[in-house]
Structure 1
Amino acid sequence: MIKLVVTDLDGTLLNDQHQVPERFWDIATRLLKKGVKLGIATGRPHFSITENFKPLMGHVYAISDNGSFIMYDKKEIMSKALPHEEIAGLVNTSRAVENTYPVLCGKDFWYLESEDKVLLDRVLVFQKNIKIVDDLTKVEDPILKMSVLDLPGAELHSYPHYKPFADRLKVTLGGALWVDVTRKDANKGEALKMLQAINNISAEETLAFGDFMNDYEMMKNAKYSYAMKNAHPVIKETASFITKKDNNEGGVLDVIEALCFNA
Protein backbone atom coordinates (compact mmCIF):
# COMPACT_ATOMS: atom_id res chain seq x y z
CA MET A 1 0.00 0.00 0.00
CA ILE A 2 1.33 3.42 -0.98
CA LYS A 3 1.43 5.78 2.02
CA LEU A 4 3.71 8.54 0.68
CA VAL A 5 3.87 10.13 -2.77
CA VAL A 6 6.67 12.58 -3.60
CA THR A 7 7.17 14.23 -6.98
CA ASP A 8 9.66 16.53 -8.63
CA LEU A 9 8.22 19.50 -10.54
CA ASP A 10 9.99 20.67 -13.71
CA GLY A 11 10.17 17.93 -16.31
CA THR A 12 8.11 15.67 -14.06
CA LEU A 13 4.75 16.87 -12.70
CA LEU A 14 4.80 20.17 -14.61
CA ASN A 15 4.55 20.42 -18.38
CA ASP A 16 7.13 22.24 -20.47
CA GLN A 17 5.28 25.51 -19.87
CA HIS A 18 5.88 24.95 -16.12
CA GLN A 19 2.13 24.49 -15.51
CA VAL A 20 0.42 22.18 -13.01
CA PRO A 21 -1.87 19.76 -14.87
CA GLU A 22 -5.53 20.41 -14.11
CA ARG A 23 -6.07 16.74 -13.19
CA PHE A 24 -3.56 17.05 -10.37
CA TRP A 25 -5.86 18.95 -8.01
CA ASP A 26 -8.52 16.25 -7.88
CA ILE A 27 -5.93 13.50 -7.56
CA ALA A 28 -4.10 15.32 -4.75
CA THR A 29 -7.36 15.88 -2.87
CA ARG A 30 -8.25 12.20 -3.18
CA LEU A 31 -4.80 11.14 -1.98
CA LEU A 32 -5.04 13.33 1.11
CA LYS A 33 -8.56 12.11 1.89
CA LYS A 34 -7.25 8.57 1.68
CA GLY A 35 -4.58 9.43 4.25
CA VAL A 36 -1.67 9.31 1.81
CA LYS A 37 1.09 11.84 2.57
CA LEU A 38 2.09 14.10 -0.31
CA GLY A 39 5.38 15.87 -0.94
CA ILE A 40 6.77 18.24 -3.56
CA ALA A 41 10.55 17.85 -3.99
CA THR A 42 12.17 20.39 -6.28
CA GLY A 43 15.25 22.47 -6.95
CA ARG A 44 12.96 25.49 -6.89
CA PRO A 45 12.72 27.73 -3.81
CA HIS A 46 10.05 27.37 -1.15
CA PHE A 47 8.35 30.50 -2.52
CA SER A 48 7.71 28.75 -5.84
CA ILE A 49 5.99 25.81 -4.14
CA THR A 50 3.73 28.02 -2.05
CA GLU A 51 2.93 30.17 -5.10
CA ASN A 52 1.97 27.23 -7.33
CA PHE A 53 0.29 25.00 -4.75
CA LYS A 54 -1.61 27.47 -2.55
CA PRO A 55 -4.77 25.30 -2.31
CA LEU A 56 -2.74 22.50 -0.74
CA MET A 57 -0.43 24.43 1.55
CA GLY A 58 -0.83 23.15 5.08
CA HIS A 59 -1.28 19.61 3.79
CA VAL A 60 1.81 19.06 1.62
CA TYR A 61 5.48 18.69 2.53
CA ALA A 62 7.40 21.36 0.61
CA ILE A 63 10.93 20.11 -0.09
CA SER A 64 12.81 22.91 -1.84
CA ASP A 65 16.34 23.70 -3.01
CA ASN A 66 17.14 20.07 -3.83
CA GLY A 67 16.37 18.88 -0.31
CA SER A 68 18.08 21.69 1.60
CA PHE A 69 14.84 23.06 3.06
CA ILE A 70 11.61 21.41 4.22
CA MET A 71 8.47 23.22 5.31
CA TYR A 72 5.11 21.83 6.40
CA ASP A 73 2.09 23.90 7.45
CA LYS A 74 4.26 27.05 7.76
CA LYS A 75 6.67 25.24 10.06
CA GLU A 76 10.33 24.70 9.24
CA ILE A 77 11.13 21.00 9.43
CA MET A 78 14.73 21.16 8.27
CA SER A 79 17.26 23.64 6.87
CA LYS A 80 20.79 22.93 5.63
CA ALA A 81 22.77 25.97 4.50
CA LEU A 82 25.99 25.84 2.51
CA PRO A 83 29.18 26.48 4.53
CA HIS A 84 29.72 30.23 4.18
CA GLU A 85 33.43 29.79 3.52
CA GLU A 86 32.65 27.89 0.30
CA ILE A 87 30.59 30.65 -1.32
CA ALA A 88 33.44 32.74 -2.77
CA GLY A 89 35.06 29.73 -4.43
CA LEU A 90 31.78 28.60 -5.97
CA VAL A 91 30.96 32.06 -7.30
CA ASN A 92 34.46 32.66 -8.66
CA THR A 93 34.38 29.33 -10.48
CA SER A 94 31.31 30.46 -12.39
CA ARG A 95 32.82 33.86 -13.11
CA ALA A 96 35.73 32.12 -14.84
CA VAL A 97 33.48 30.14 -17.21
CA GLU A 98 32.03 32.04 -20.16
CA ASN A 99 28.26 32.27 -20.64
CA THR A 100 27.40 31.20 -17.10
CA TYR A 101 25.66 33.10 -14.33
CA PRO A 102 25.97 32.26 -10.60
CA VAL A 103 22.85 32.50 -8.44
CA LEU A 104 22.79 32.28 -4.63
CA CYS A 105 19.55 30.79 -3.31
CA GLY A 106 18.52 31.89 0.18
CA LYS A 107 15.35 31.05 2.09
CA ASP A 108 13.54 34.23 1.06
CA PHE A 109 15.53 35.66 -1.87
CA TRP A 110 17.68 34.62 -4.79
CA TYR A 111 20.75 36.83 -5.22
CA LEU A 112 22.13 37.79 -8.64
CA GLU A 113 24.98 40.05 -9.69
CA SER A 114 23.74 40.58 -13.23
CA GLU A 115 20.59 42.09 -14.69
CA ASP A 116 21.05 40.47 -18.10
CA LYS A 117 17.66 39.68 -19.62
CA VAL A 118 18.61 36.09 -20.44
CA LEU A 119 19.31 35.47 -16.74
CA LEU A 120 16.22 37.27 -15.45
CA ASP A 121 13.97 35.45 -17.92
CA ARG A 122 15.20 32.08 -16.64
CA VAL A 123 15.23 32.95 -12.94
CA LEU A 124 11.81 34.61 -12.76
CA VAL A 125 10.20 31.34 -13.86
CA PHE A 126 11.24 29.90 -10.49
CA GLN A 127 11.66 32.81 -8.09
CA LYS A 128 10.06 36.27 -8.11
CA ASN A 129 11.88 37.43 -4.96
CA ILE A 130 15.28 38.44 -6.29
CA LYS A 131 17.95 40.90 -5.20
CA ILE A 132 20.62 42.30 -7.50
CA VAL A 133 23.91 42.82 -5.66
CA ASP A 134 27.31 44.11 -6.73
CA ASP A 135 29.22 41.12 -5.40
CA LEU A 136 27.73 37.73 -4.54
CA THR A 137 30.71 36.86 -2.37
CA LYS A 138 29.64 39.61 0.03
CA VAL A 139 26.13 38.22 0.64
CA GLU A 140 25.83 37.40 4.34
CA ASP A 141 22.44 35.65 4.46
CA PRO A 142 22.41 31.82 4.80
CA ILE A 143 22.53 30.21 1.35
CA LEU A 144 20.72 26.93 0.79
CA LYS A 145 21.97 26.32 -2.73
CA MET A 146 24.26 27.85 -5.33
CA SER A 147 22.97 27.45 -8.88
CA VAL A 148 24.70 28.22 -12.14
CA LEU A 149 22.77 29.07 -15.29
CA ASP A 150 24.84 27.63 -18.12
CA LEU A 151 23.60 28.74 -21.53
CA PRO A 152 25.76 26.36 -23.67
CA GLY A 153 24.58 23.36 -21.57
CA ALA A 154 25.56 22.48 -18.03
CA GLU A 155 26.60 18.84 -18.28
CA LEU A 156 29.51 19.33 -20.67
CA HIS A 157 30.32 23.01 -20.16
CA SER A 158 30.38 24.16 -16.51
CA TYR A 159 29.68 20.98 -14.54
CA PRO A 160 33.25 19.64 -14.93
CA HIS A 161 34.62 22.86 -13.38
CA TYR A 162 32.80 22.06 -10.12
CA LYS A 163 34.19 18.55 -9.70
CA PRO A 164 36.95 19.82 -7.34
CA PHE A 165 34.17 20.70 -4.86
CA ALA A 166 32.59 17.24 -5.01
CA ASP A 167 34.65 15.81 -2.16
CA ARG A 168 32.95 18.13 0.33
CA LEU A 169 29.79 19.43 -1.38
CA LYS A 170 26.95 17.92 -3.39
CA VAL A 171 27.37 18.95 -7.04
CA THR A 172 24.59 17.87 -9.39
CA LEU A 173 22.80 18.73 -12.60
CA GLY A 174 19.54 20.48 -11.82
CA GLY A 175 18.49 20.60 -15.47
CA ALA A 176 19.93 20.88 -18.95
CA LEU A 177 21.09 24.45 -18.25
CA TRP A 178 21.69 24.28 -14.49
CA VAL A 179 24.40 23.13 -12.11
CA ASP A 180 23.29 22.99 -8.45
CA VAL A 181 25.56 22.89 -5.40
CA THR A 182 24.32 22.11 -1.89
CA ARG A 183 25.72 20.68 1.30
CA LYS A 184 26.95 17.11 1.01
CA ASP A 185 24.12 15.86 3.22
CA ALA A 186 21.45 17.90 1.42
CA ASN A 187 19.64 16.11 -1.38
CA LYS A 188 16.14 14.93 -2.18
CA GLY A 189 16.93 11.40 -1.02
CA GLU A 190 17.89 12.56 2.48
CA ALA A 191 14.78 14.76 2.60
CA LEU A 192 12.63 11.81 1.57
CA LYS A 193 14.14 9.66 4.32
CA MET A 194 13.29 12.38 6.84
CA LEU A 195 9.66 12.39 5.69
CA GLN A 196 9.55 8.62 5.95
CA ALA A 197 10.94 8.73 9.49
CA ILE A 198 8.57 11.49 10.63
CA ASN A 199 5.54 9.58 9.37
CA ASN A 200 6.76 6.04 10.15
CA ILE A 201 6.56 5.14 6.47
CA SER A 202 8.97 2.73 4.81
CA ALA A 203 10.64 2.93 1.41
CA GLU A 204 8.43 -0.02 0.42
CA GLU A 205 5.39 2.23 0.98
CA THR A 206 6.79 5.18 -1.00
CA LEU A 207 6.10 6.31 -4.57
CA ALA A 208 8.50 8.88 -6.07
CA PHE A 209 8.87 10.58 -9.46
CA GLY A 210 11.81 12.38 -11.03
CA ASP A 211 13.50 13.24 -14.30
CA PHE A 212 16.98 14.69 -13.72
CA MET A 213 20.17 14.11 -11.77
CA ASN A 214 19.02 16.06 -8.71
CA ASP A 215 16.41 13.29 -8.30
CA TYR A 216 19.03 10.51 -8.19
CA GLU A 217 19.09 9.88 -4.43
CA MET A 218 15.30 10.12 -4.23
CA MET A 219 14.98 7.31 -6.77
CA LYS A 220 17.11 5.13 -4.50
CA ASN A 221 14.89 5.64 -1.46
CA ALA A 222 11.51 4.56 -2.82
CA LYS A 223 10.48 1.06 -3.84
CA TYR A 224 8.12 2.56 -6.39
CA SER A 225 10.58 4.96 -8.02
CA TYR A 226 9.50 6.20 -11.43
CA ALA A 227 11.72 7.96 -13.93
CA MET A 228 9.80 10.02 -16.44
CA LYS A 229 9.67 8.87 -20.05
CA ASN A 230 11.58 12.10 -20.79
CA ALA A 231 14.13 11.57 -17.97
CA HIS A 232 17.92 11.72 -18.11
CA PRO A 233 19.31 8.26 -19.06
CA VAL A 234 21.00 7.81 -15.66
CA ILE A 235 17.70 8.40 -13.86
CA LYS A 236 16.01 5.83 -16.09
CA GLU A 237 18.70 3.32 -15.15
CA THR A 238 18.41 4.14 -11.43
CA ALA A 239 14.63 4.12 -11.05
CA SER A 240 12.67 0.90 -10.68
CA PHE A 241 10.14 1.91 -13.33
CA ILE A 242 9.65 4.36 -16.21
CA THR A 243 6.40 6.18 -16.90
CA LYS A 244 4.65 5.35 -20.17
CA LYS A 245 3.90 9.04 -20.77
CA ASP A 246 6.11 12.10 -20.44
CA ASN A 247 5.61 15.26 -18.36
CA ASN A 248 3.46 16.88 -21.05
CA GLU A 249 1.09 13.92 -21.10
CA GLY A 250 0.44 13.57 -17.38
CA GLY A 251 2.71 10.58 -16.88
CA VAL A 252 2.87 11.12 -13.10
CA LEU A 253 -0.89 11.27 -12.74
CA ASP A 254 -1.54 8.08 -14.67
CA VAL A 255 0.81 6.14 -12.39
CA ILE A 256 -0.76 7.59 -9.22
CA GLU A 257 -4.23 6.65 -10.47
CA ALA A 258 -3.12 3.09 -11.21
CA LEU A 259 -1.17 2.44 -8.01
CA CYS A 260 -3.12 4.41 -5.42
CA PHE A 261 -6.72 4.08 -6.55
CA ASN A 262 -7.00 1.08 -8.85
CA ALA A 263 -4.67 -1.34 -7.10
Structure 2
Amino acid sequence: MPYSHAPLVTPSEQPATDAGADIRLVVTDMDGTLLDDDKRAPDGLWEVLALLRERGVLFSPASGRQYATLARQFAEVAEGMVFIAENGTYVVRDGVELSSDPLDPAVAHGVVRATRQLVADGVDMGAVLCGKKSAYVERTDEAFLAEVRRYYLEHRIVEDVTAVDDDIIKVALFDFGSAERTTAPALEPFTATHQVVVSGEHWVDVMNRTANKGAAIRRLQHDLGITPAQTMVFGDYLNDLEMLDTAEWSFAMANAHPEVVRRARHLAPSNNDNGVLRTVARMLDLPVTDS
Protein backbone atom coordinates (compact mmCIF):
# COMPACT_ATOMS: atom_id res chain seq x y z
CA MET A 1 0.00 0.00 0.00
CA PRO A 2 1.26 3.51 -0.78
CA TYR A 3 3.65 5.33 1.51
CA SER A 4 2.67 8.96 1.96
CA HIS A 5 6.13 10.54 2.15
CA ALA A 6 8.11 11.84 -0.84
CA PRO A 7 10.32 9.27 -2.64
CA LEU A 8 13.87 8.93 -1.35
CA VAL A 9 15.22 8.17 -4.82
CA THR A 10 14.37 8.88 -8.42
CA PRO A 11 14.25 6.29 -11.19
CA SER A 12 17.47 7.68 -12.65
CA GLU A 13 19.26 6.55 -9.50
CA GLN A 14 18.40 2.91 -10.04
CA PRO A 15 21.57 0.80 -10.19
CA ALA A 16 22.44 -1.13 -13.34
CA THR A 17 21.06 -4.67 -13.55
CA ASP A 18 22.08 -7.80 -15.44
CA ALA A 19 19.97 -8.13 -18.57
CA GLY A 20 19.20 -11.73 -19.42
CA ALA A 21 19.59 -13.01 -15.84
CA ASP A 22 18.32 -16.54 -15.09
CA ILE A 23 15.07 -15.54 -13.39
CA ARG A 24 12.44 -18.22 -12.76
CA LEU A 25 10.14 -16.44 -10.28
CA VAL A 26 8.88 -12.84 -10.19
CA VAL A 27 6.90 -11.81 -7.10
CA THR A 28 5.38 -8.38 -6.66
CA ASP A 29 3.31 -6.58 -4.09
CA MET A 30 0.26 -4.86 -5.54
CA ASP A 31 -0.67 -1.53 -3.90
CA GLY A 32 2.11 1.02 -4.09
CA THR A 33 4.21 -1.40 -6.14
CA LEU A 34 2.65 -2.90 -9.27
CA LEU A 35 -0.43 -0.64 -9.19
CA ASP A 36 -0.17 3.12 -9.44
CA ASP A 37 -1.61 5.46 -6.82
CA ASP A 38 -5.00 5.31 -8.57
CA LYS A 39 -4.97 1.49 -8.21
CA ARG A 40 -4.53 0.99 -11.96
CA ALA A 41 -2.53 -1.84 -13.48
CA PRO A 42 0.40 -0.63 -15.61
CA ASP A 43 0.22 -0.43 -19.39
CA GLY A 44 1.75 -3.50 -20.96
CA LEU A 45 1.09 -5.81 -18.01
CA TRP A 46 -0.69 -8.54 -19.99
CA GLU A 47 1.96 -8.47 -22.73
CA VAL A 48 4.75 -8.86 -20.19
CA LEU A 49 2.93 -11.69 -18.39
CA ALA A 50 2.50 -13.50 -21.71
CA LEU A 51 6.23 -13.19 -22.42
CA LEU A 52 7.09 -14.45 -18.94
CA ARG A 53 4.82 -17.46 -19.42
CA GLU A 54 6.48 -18.25 -22.75
CA ARG A 55 9.86 -18.29 -21.01
CA GLY A 56 8.66 -20.46 -18.16
CA VAL A 57 8.90 -17.67 -15.57
CA LEU A 58 6.28 -17.83 -12.82
CA PHE A 59 4.68 -14.49 -11.97
CA SER A 60 3.10 -14.28 -8.53
CA PRO A 61 1.19 -11.39 -6.91
CA ALA A 62 1.92 -11.17 -3.17
CA SER A 63 -0.52 -8.89 -1.44
CA GLY A 64 -2.51 -8.10 1.64
CA ARG A 65 -5.48 -8.36 -0.68
CA GLN A 66 -7.91 -11.25 -0.55
CA TYR A 67 -7.44 -14.26 -2.84
CA ALA A 68 -10.81 -13.66 -4.53
CA THR A 69 -9.82 -10.07 -5.27
CA LEU A 70 -6.47 -11.07 -6.77
CA ALA A 71 -8.02 -13.86 -8.82
CA ARG A 72 -10.49 -11.41 -10.34
CA GLN A 73 -7.77 -8.87 -11.14
CA PHE A 74 -5.75 -11.49 -13.00
CA ALA A 75 -8.66 -13.52 -14.35
CA GLU A 76 -7.36 -13.35 -17.94
CA VAL A 77 -4.07 -15.03 -17.01
CA ALA A 78 -4.85 -16.78 -13.71
CA GLU A 79 -4.26 -20.33 -14.95
CA GLY A 80 -1.09 -21.67 -13.33
CA MET A 81 -0.46 -18.45 -11.40
CA VAL A 82 0.32 -18.65 -7.69
CA PHE A 83 -1.56 -16.08 -5.60
CA ILE A 84 0.11 -15.16 -2.30
CA ALA A 85 -2.88 -13.55 -0.63
CA GLU A 86 -3.60 -12.00 2.77
CA ASN A 87 0.09 -11.17 3.37
CA GLY A 88 1.16 -14.78 2.87
CA THR A 89 -1.41 -16.41 5.13
CA TYR A 90 -3.28 -17.99 2.20
CA VAL A 91 -1.56 -19.27 -0.96
CA VAL A 92 -3.60 -20.66 -3.86
CA ARG A 93 -2.88 -22.00 -7.35
CA ASP A 94 -5.67 -22.87 -9.80
CA GLY A 95 -8.20 -22.78 -6.98
CA VAL A 96 -6.25 -25.26 -4.84
CA GLU A 97 -4.82 -24.20 -1.49
CA LEU A 98 -1.04 -24.62 -1.37
CA SER A 99 -0.61 -23.35 2.17
CA SER A 100 -2.35 -21.37 4.89
CA ASP A 101 -1.65 -20.18 8.42
CA PRO A 102 -4.96 -19.75 10.30
CA LEU A 103 -5.26 -17.74 13.48
CA ASP A 104 -6.46 -19.20 16.75
CA PRO A 105 -10.10 -18.00 16.92
CA ALA A 106 -9.53 -16.79 20.49
CA VAL A 107 -6.78 -14.47 19.26
CA ALA A 108 -8.86 -13.18 16.36
CA HIS A 109 -11.76 -12.50 18.70
CA GLY A 110 -9.43 -10.73 21.13
CA VAL A 111 -8.30 -8.38 18.36
CA VAL A 112 -11.93 -7.68 17.50
CA ARG A 113 -12.70 -6.84 21.12
CA ALA A 114 -9.69 -4.49 21.25
CA THR A 115 -10.95 -2.82 18.09
CA ARG A 116 -14.39 -2.33 19.56
CA GLN A 117 -12.81 -0.67 22.58
CA LEU A 118 -10.77 1.68 20.36
CA VAL A 119 -13.96 2.65 18.54
CA ALA A 120 -15.69 3.25 21.87
CA ASP A 121 -12.76 5.51 22.81
CA GLY A 122 -13.33 7.60 19.69
CA VAL A 123 -10.90 6.13 17.13
CA ASP A 124 -12.40 6.19 13.63
CA MET A 125 -11.60 2.64 12.53
CA GLY A 126 -13.05 -0.78 11.84
CA ALA A 127 -12.02 -4.44 11.77
CA VAL A 128 -12.09 -6.89 8.86
CA LEU A 129 -12.07 -10.52 9.93
CA CYS A 130 -10.38 -12.29 7.00
CA GLY A 131 -11.51 -15.87 6.39
CA LYS A 132 -10.75 -18.32 3.62
CA LYS A 133 -14.31 -18.10 2.29
CA SER A 134 -14.99 -14.41 2.85
CA ALA A 135 -14.12 -11.29 4.81
CA TYR A 136 -16.49 -10.20 7.56
CA VAL A 137 -17.26 -6.74 8.94
CA GLU A 138 -19.60 -5.19 11.47
CA ARG A 139 -19.24 -1.56 10.47
CA THR A 140 -21.80 -0.61 7.81
CA ASP A 141 -21.15 3.00 6.76
CA GLU A 142 -20.27 3.62 3.12
CA ALA A 143 -16.92 5.31 3.85
CA PHE A 144 -15.62 2.20 5.59
CA LEU A 145 -17.19 -0.26 3.15
CA ALA A 146 -15.62 1.60 0.21
CA GLU A 147 -12.19 0.86 1.67
CA VAL A 148 -13.11 -2.76 2.34
CA ARG A 149 -14.27 -3.27 -1.24
CA ARG A 150 -10.88 -2.17 -2.57
CA TYR A 151 -9.23 -5.27 -1.15
CA TYR A 152 -12.00 -7.75 -0.34
CA LEU A 153 -14.19 -8.77 -3.26
CA GLU A 154 -15.90 -11.37 -1.08
CA HIS A 155 -17.13 -9.65 2.06
CA ARG A 156 -20.18 -9.93 4.27
CA ILE A 157 -21.74 -7.58 6.79
CA VAL A 158 -22.62 -9.49 9.95
CA GLU A 159 -23.94 -8.52 13.34
CA ASP A 160 -21.06 -10.19 15.19
CA VAL A 161 -17.84 -11.12 13.38
CA THR A 162 -16.81 -13.38 16.26
CA ALA A 163 -19.73 -15.68 15.46
CA VAL A 164 -18.79 -16.49 11.84
CA ASP A 165 -18.01 -20.06 10.75
CA ASP A 166 -14.79 -19.85 8.72
CA ASP A 167 -11.05 -20.42 9.04
CA ILE A 168 -9.72 -16.99 10.02
CA ILE A 169 -6.29 -16.26 8.60
CA LYS A 170 -5.86 -12.58 9.49
CA VAL A 171 -7.53 -9.61 11.13
CA ALA A 172 -7.12 -6.41 9.14
CA LEU A 173 -7.83 -3.06 10.77
CA PHE A 174 -8.56 0.12 8.82
CA ASP A 175 -7.85 3.40 10.60
CA PHE A 176 -9.07 6.57 8.91
CA GLY A 177 -6.21 8.34 10.67
CA SER A 178 -2.66 7.02 10.99
CA ALA A 179 -2.45 3.27 11.53
CA GLU A 180 1.22 3.54 12.48
CA ARG A 181 0.59 6.15 15.17
CA THR A 182 -2.76 5.03 16.59
CA THR A 183 -3.93 1.50 15.85
CA ALA A 184 -0.62 -0.36 15.88
CA PRO A 185 0.49 0.97 19.31
CA ALA A 186 -2.91 0.10 20.78
CA LEU A 187 -2.43 -3.51 19.68
CA GLU A 188 0.97 -3.84 21.33
CA PRO A 189 -0.26 -6.51 23.81
CA PHE A 190 -0.65 -8.90 20.86
CA THR A 191 2.97 -8.46 19.75
CA ALA A 192 4.21 -10.81 22.46
CA THR A 193 2.72 -13.78 20.62
CA HIS A 194 1.64 -12.54 17.17
CA GLN A 195 2.60 -10.16 14.38
CA VAL A 196 1.11 -6.69 14.32
CA VAL A 197 2.16 -5.38 10.91
CA VAL A 198 1.57 -1.88 9.52
CA SER A 199 0.77 -2.70 5.90
CA GLY A 200 -0.17 0.80 4.76
CA GLU A 201 -0.85 4.32 5.92
CA HIS A 202 -4.29 3.26 7.18
CA TRP A 203 -3.99 -0.53 7.57
CA VAL A 204 -2.69 -2.86 10.28
CA ASP A 205 -2.73 -6.66 10.01
CA VAL A 206 -2.65 -9.12 12.91
CA MET A 207 -1.35 -12.57 11.97
CA ASN A 208 0.54 -15.53 13.34
CA ARG A 209 4.27 -15.02 13.88
CA THR A 210 4.95 -17.66 11.23
CA ALA A 211 2.86 -15.90 8.58
CA ASN A 212 4.36 -13.43 6.11
CA LYS A 213 4.98 -13.07 2.40
CA GLY A 214 8.56 -14.22 2.82
CA ALA A 215 7.58 -17.53 4.43
CA ALA A 216 5.11 -18.18 1.61
CA ILE A 217 7.77 -17.47 -1.02
CA ARG A 218 10.32 -19.74 0.65
CA ARG A 219 7.82 -22.61 0.61
CA LEU A 220 7.11 -21.92 -3.05
CA GLN A 221 10.83 -21.82 -3.90
CA HIS A 222 11.37 -25.12 -2.10
CA ASP A 223 8.45 -26.84 -3.83
CA LEU A 224 9.47 -25.62 -7.30
CA GLY A 225 13.25 -25.93 -6.92
CA ILE A 226 13.81 -22.19 -7.46
CA THR A 227 16.75 -20.45 -5.76
CA PRO A 228 16.99 -16.90 -4.36
CA ALA A 229 19.35 -16.11 -7.25
CA GLN A 230 16.52 -16.99 -9.65
CA THR A 231 13.96 -14.86 -7.82
CA MET A 232 12.93 -11.21 -8.23
CA VAL A 233 10.71 -9.47 -5.68
CA PHE A 234 9.25 -5.96 -5.54
CA GLY A 235 7.78 -4.18 -2.53
CA ASP A 236 7.08 -0.80 -0.98
CA TYR A 237 5.80 -1.22 2.57
CA LEU A 238 6.58 -2.84 5.92
CA ASN A 239 4.60 -6.00 5.18
CA ASP A 240 7.06 -6.63 2.33
CA LEU A 241 10.22 -6.76 4.45
CA GLU A 242 10.45 -10.55 4.88
CA MET A 243 9.72 -10.99 1.19
CA LEU A 244 12.79 -8.96 0.28
CA ASP A 245 14.99 -11.45 2.13
CA THR A 246 13.96 -14.32 -0.17
CA ALA A 247 15.60 -13.00 -3.35
CA GLU A 248 18.99 -11.85 -4.52
CA TRP A 249 17.09 -9.55 -6.86
CA SER A 250 15.04 -7.66 -4.27
CA PHE A 251 13.75 -4.24 -5.29
CA ALA A 252 12.30 -1.39 -3.26
CA MET A 253 10.16 1.00 -5.23
CA ALA A 254 11.23 4.64 -5.38
CA ASN A 255 8.12 5.48 -3.37
CA ALA A 256 8.85 2.85 -0.70
CA HIS A 257 8.92 3.21 3.07
CA PRO A 258 12.48 4.08 4.21
CA GLU A 259 12.88 0.75 6.00
CA VAL A 260 12.03 -1.10 2.77
CA VAL A 261 14.65 0.92 0.89
CA ARG A 262 17.23 -0.05 3.51
CA ARG A 263 16.30 -3.74 3.38
CA ALA A 264 16.21 -4.21 -0.41
CA ARG A 265 19.33 -4.86 -2.50
CA HIS A 266 18.20 -2.70 -5.42
CA LEU A 267 15.94 0.23 -6.29
CA ALA A 268 13.23 0.36 -8.94
CA PRO A 269 11.34 3.31 -10.42
CA SER A 270 8.18 4.25 -8.55
CA ASN A 271 4.81 2.56 -8.87
CA ASN A 272 3.61 5.58 -10.85
CA ASP A 273 6.50 5.14 -13.31
CA ASN A 274 5.74 1.50 -14.17
CA GLY A 275 8.74 0.47 -12.09
CA VAL A 276 7.99 -3.25 -11.84
CA LEU A 277 7.49 -3.90 -15.55
CA ARG A 278 10.38 -1.65 -16.59
CA THR A 279 12.73 -3.51 -14.28
CA VAL A 280 11.48 -6.97 -15.27
CA ALA A 281 11.85 -6.09 -18.96
CA ARG A 282 15.40 -4.85 -18.42
CA MET A 283 16.44 -7.82 -16.28
CA LEU A 284 15.01 -10.44 -18.61
CA ASP A 285 15.82 -8.54 -21.81
CA LEU A 286 12.20 -8.58 -22.92
CA PRO A 287 11.22 -6.94 -26.22
CA VAL A 288 8.93 -4.34 -24.65
CA THR A 289 9.13 -0.57 -24.52
CA ASP A 290 10.82 0.86 -21.39
CA SER A 291 8.30 3.62 -20.69
Shorter chain as denominator, the TM-score bin is over 0.9
1:227 aligns with 2:252: yes
TM-score, normalised to structure 2, is 0.87
Q: CA deviation at 1:108?
A: 2.2
TM-score, normalised to structure 1, is 0.96
Paired position in structure 2 for 1:258: 282
Paired position in structure 2 for 1:248: 272
Q: 1:79 aligns with which of 91, 100, 110?
A: 100
Whichever residue aligns with residue 10 of structure 1, its letter is D
Paired position in structure 2 for 1:174: 199
Preserved contact between residue 66 and residue 151 of structure 2 (Cα < 8 Å): yes
Whichever residue aligns with residue 212 of structure 1, its letter is Y
Paired position in structure 2 for 1:95: 116
Please list the CA deviations of residues 141-166 of structure 1 after superposition, one character each: whole Å capped at 9, or x if unmatched: 11111000011110011101122211
Looking at structure 2, the residues matched to 3 and 256 of structure 1 have their Cα atoms a distance apart, in angstroms, of: 12
Looking at structure 2, the residues matched to 36 and 261 of structure 1 have their Cα atoms a distance apart, in angstroms, of: 13
Structure 1 gap ranges (5+): none
Please list the CA deviations of residues 111-163 of structure 1 after superposition, one character each: whole Å capped at 9, or x if unmatched: 00010111111011122322111122222311111000011110011101122
Q: CA deviation at 1:22?
A: 2.5
Whichever residue aligns with residue 170 of structure 1, its letter is Q
Q: 2:215 aligns with which of 183, 187, 190?
A: 190
Q: Counterpart of 2:53 in 1: which secondary structure?
A: helix
Task: Output the aligned Cα RMSD.
Answer: 1.3
Preserved contact between residue 58 and residue 74 of structure 1 (Cα < 8 Å): no
Structure 2 gap ranges (5+): 1-21, 287-291
Looking at structure 1, the residues matched to 109 and 68 of structure 2 have their Cα atoms a distance apart, in angstroms, of: 25
1:51 aligns with 2:75: no
Looking at structure 2, the residues matched to 134 and 157 of structure 1 have their Cα atoms a distance apart, in angstroms, of: 25
Paired position in structure 2 for 1:9: 30
Preserved contact between residue 69 and residue 154 of structure 2 (Cα < 8 Å): no
Question: What is the aligned-residue identity percentage?
Answer: 35
Preserved contact between residue 108 and residue 170 of structure 2 (Cα < 8 Å): no
Kindly name which structure, 1 or 2, has the bigger radius of gyration based on alpha carbons.
2
Q: Counterpart of 1:128 in 2: which secondary structure?
A: coil
Deviates more, 1:92-101 or 1:229-238: 92-101
Q: 1:217 aligns with which of 225, 229, 242?
A: 242
Task: Count how many residue pairs are aligned between Structure 1 and Structure 2.
Answer: 262
Q: Counterpart of 1:181 in 2: which secondary structure?
A: strand
Preserved contact between residue 105 and residue 143 of structure 1 (Cα < 8 Å): yes
